[in-house]
């Protein structure tokens, strides 16, 4: 898709990766609909972007039915007024680094809701208001394809999002709507606590710059890449884990003592 002058709706716009996606797409002359919970943060982001007046804001808490409905009503109204929306980027997400046994049930439900149910609901609504041709890009994670200790329910939610994206892409074949999936590895944002960042450093895991991730998001949209895994060697491990998981399990087993130490640290905090 040629991004120039296209109107794209971005959730989680004020987050570490979201704000960079907004900056990169605005620099490429896209017009953005920025979605977030905090109006003043959204306004500050809008003012920081190239051509601020070409962007719109929707204040919505996606974890509530009202938040989802607000997006739907606003986009339907634009459609009625003849304002096309060419794409949806489902980027909002959250996680919690903790053992399953230490999690509160509500924290598990909220995480799965935001990471999986919310993008599914937004995709369903978007089929009503997106113009054609259109792109939907779901932001996943390396952990959608590699089960990792401390992230059981995050892995589950992103694995669900990956399979959903694949199924919907196939379901919509020939309709003019494509569903893309991009999976970052560890990225330098506040999604990761100080303990998680330290753990990644201890394990020698690469941590990507959110601007670089945002540039890959834009490339994905331009090239209409259906599935993209970011980072080497993670993208290799993703493939190996699907076909022959034993080496991946063995590599993670070697890390388990360190991971356990950091899980205890995270739980004490």
Ligand X SMILES: NC(=O)c1ccc[n+]([C@@H]2O[C@H](COP(=O)([O-])OP(=O)(O)OC[C@H]3O[C@@H](n4cnc5c(N)ncnc54)[C@H](OP(=O)(O)O)[C@@H]3O)[C@@H](O)[C@H]2O)c1
Which residues contribute to the site for ligand X (CB under 6 A)?
A: 12, 14-18, 36-38, 41, 61-63, 91-94, 114, 139, 141, 184, 186-187, 189-192
CA distance 17 to 20: 5
Nearer to ligand X, 12 or 150 (CB): 12
Nearer to ligand X, 153 or 192 (CB): 192
CB of 196 to ligand X, least distance (A): 8
Q: Min. distance of Cβ 149 from ligand X in angstroms? A: 16
**Shortest CB 12 distance to ligand X, Å:** 3
CB closer to ligand X, 61 vs 131 = 61
Give the residue with the Cβ less far from ligand X, 85 or 92: 92
SS3 10: strand
How far is the C-alpha of 33 from the C-alpha of 88, rounded, in Å? 9
Nearer to ligand X, 14 or 199 (CB): 14
According to the 3-state scheme, what is the secondary structure of 128-140?
HHEEEEEEEEEEC
- Crossing angle, helix 16-27 and helix 210-223, to 10 degrees? 50
- H-helix or E-strand spanning residue 196: helix 194-203
Query: Cα dihedral angle (207, 209, 215, 221), rounded to 10 degrees?
Result: 50
Taking alpha carbons only, the member of 223, 228, 218, 225 closest to residue 28 is: 218
Could you give the C-alpha distances from 18 to 124, 166, 198, in angstroms and in order? 21, 22, 23
CB of 158 to ligand X, least distance (A): 7
Q: Least distance in Å: CB of 259 to ligand X?
A: 16
């Amino acid at each position: 898709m040629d991004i120039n002058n296209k109107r794209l709706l971005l959730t989680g716009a004020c987050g570490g990766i979201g704000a960079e996606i907004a900056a990169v797409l605005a620099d490429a002359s896209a017009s953005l609909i920025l979605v977030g919970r905090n109006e003043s943060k959204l306004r500050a982001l809008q003012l920081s972007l190239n051509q601020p007046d070409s962007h719109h804001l929707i204040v919505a808490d996606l974890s509530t039915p009202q938040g989802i409905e607000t997006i739907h009503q606003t986009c339907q109204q634009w459609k009625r007024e003849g304002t096309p929306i060419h794409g949806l980027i489902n980027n909002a997400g959250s996680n919690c680094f903790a053992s399953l046994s230490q999690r509160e049930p509500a924290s598990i439900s909220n995480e799965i809701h935001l990471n999986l149910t919310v993008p599914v609901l937004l995709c369903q609504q978007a089929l009503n208001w997106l113009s054609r041709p259109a792109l939907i890009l779901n932001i996943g994670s390396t952990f959608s394809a590699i089960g990792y200790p401390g992230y059981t329910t995050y892995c589950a939610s992103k694995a669900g999002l990956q399979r959903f994206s694949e199924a919907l892409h196939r379901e919509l074949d020939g309709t003019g709507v494509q569903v893309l999936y991009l999976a970052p590895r560890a990225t330098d944002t506040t999604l990761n606590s100080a303990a998680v960042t330290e753990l990644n450093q201890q394990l020698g895991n690469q941590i990507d710059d959110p601007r670089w991730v945002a540039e890959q998001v834009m490339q994905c949209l331009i090239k209409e890449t259906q599935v993209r895994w970011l980072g080497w060697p993670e993208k290799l491990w993703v493939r190996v884990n699907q076909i022959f998981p034993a080496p991946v399990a063995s590599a993670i087993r070697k890390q388990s003592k360190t991971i356990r130490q950091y899980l205890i640290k995270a739980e004490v905090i």
